[in-house]
Amino acid sequence: MKSWIEEQGWGHAVEAGLYPPIAISKKKGFEELTKEYRFKNKTVLDHGCGTGVFGALLKKRGAQVTGLDISKRLLKVAATRIKVVQGSAYRLPFKDAKFDFVLSLMVLHVLTRPEQATKEIRRVLKPKGTLLLAIVNPRAGAWDVKKKTIKKDSKYGKVAQRKWVFNLTDGTAFAATYTHRPLSFWMRALKGFSVRCVYEPILPARYPKGKYAQKEFLFLALEKE
């Protein structure tokens, strides 16, 4: 079975080093989400770790990080940074209550059954464990690269596959897909967690020259009830 990342055409981009550096808003959101927590000697699952860049940042802060991803190709890169395990978000290959933290950045919205994945995350978290989450903001505006403005979302309530164009550093681009779902869906899928922090960076209305296309993200810190 081809992994999502290969179907989406990311594999070659990551291997060739063409994938843009960590999007600024994602890095800021990550810092905002994690600043209240101490990670020294804490167990962290980097859920859908991709190349493991974010897990590696927590490892630097003293955490014992395990990265989990479906893509062998990406795990090869991640393994240079953190300990990795290949597996599915729908059936995490870990025992119950193993982790103090689950870091899940930009993963749930690419899954067809995110509500199954959140159940699994809850299972592997310790009681009062913390889920640090980022998804495409369901209310997201996105920069329209051609018009250089922000697009308004007139189909907010509709669950639908959407395209997201990634510009690579060599000037080429490819479109990846994700599934838009309204906020009410996500709140249902996160039953059993209480919200500790919401961070919702809003993009400037005009597309800055030389920047990569980005979407607005929603960052949440949640505690397992």
Summarize as ranges the residues that interact with ligand SAM (CB under 6 A): 3-5, 48-50, 53-54, 69-71, 74, 88-90, 105-107, 110-111
Residue closer to ligand SAM by CB (options 128, 212) is 212
Q: Is 97 left (phi over 0), alpha (psi -120 to 50) or beta?
A: left
Q: Measuring CA to CA, which residue among 71, 56, 83 is closest to residue 11?
A: 71
CB of 205 to ligand SAM, least distance (A): 25
Residue closer to ligand SAM by CB (options 43, 71) is 71
Residue closer to ligand SAM by CB (options 50, 129) is 50
CB of 206 to ligand SAM, least distance (A): 25
Residue closer to ligand SAM by CB (options 60, 147) is 60
In the complex, residue closest to ligand SAM by CB: 50
CB of 194 to ligand SAM, least distance (A): 23
Q: Measuring CA to CA, which residue among 128, 125, 74, 79 is closest to residue 103?
A: 125
CA atoms within 13 A on the CB side of 28: 11
Residue closer to ligand SAM by CB (options 81, 224) is 81
CB of 104 to ligand SAM, least distance (A): 7
Task: Count CB neighbours of 223 within 10 A.
Answer: 15
CA separation for the pair 180, 122 (Å, rounded)? 22
Q: What angle do CA 141, 146, 152 make, to 5 degrees?
A: 20
Residue closer to ligand SAM by CB (options 89, 189) is 89
CB of 103 to ligand SAM, least distance (A): 8
Q: Measuring CA to CA, which residue among 188, 189, 140, 134 is closest to residue 162?
A: 140
CB of 189 to ligand SAM, least distance (A): 15
In single-letter form, the type of residue at position 14 comes to V
Q: Measuring CA to CA, which residue among 102, 93, 91 is closest to residue 125?
A: 102
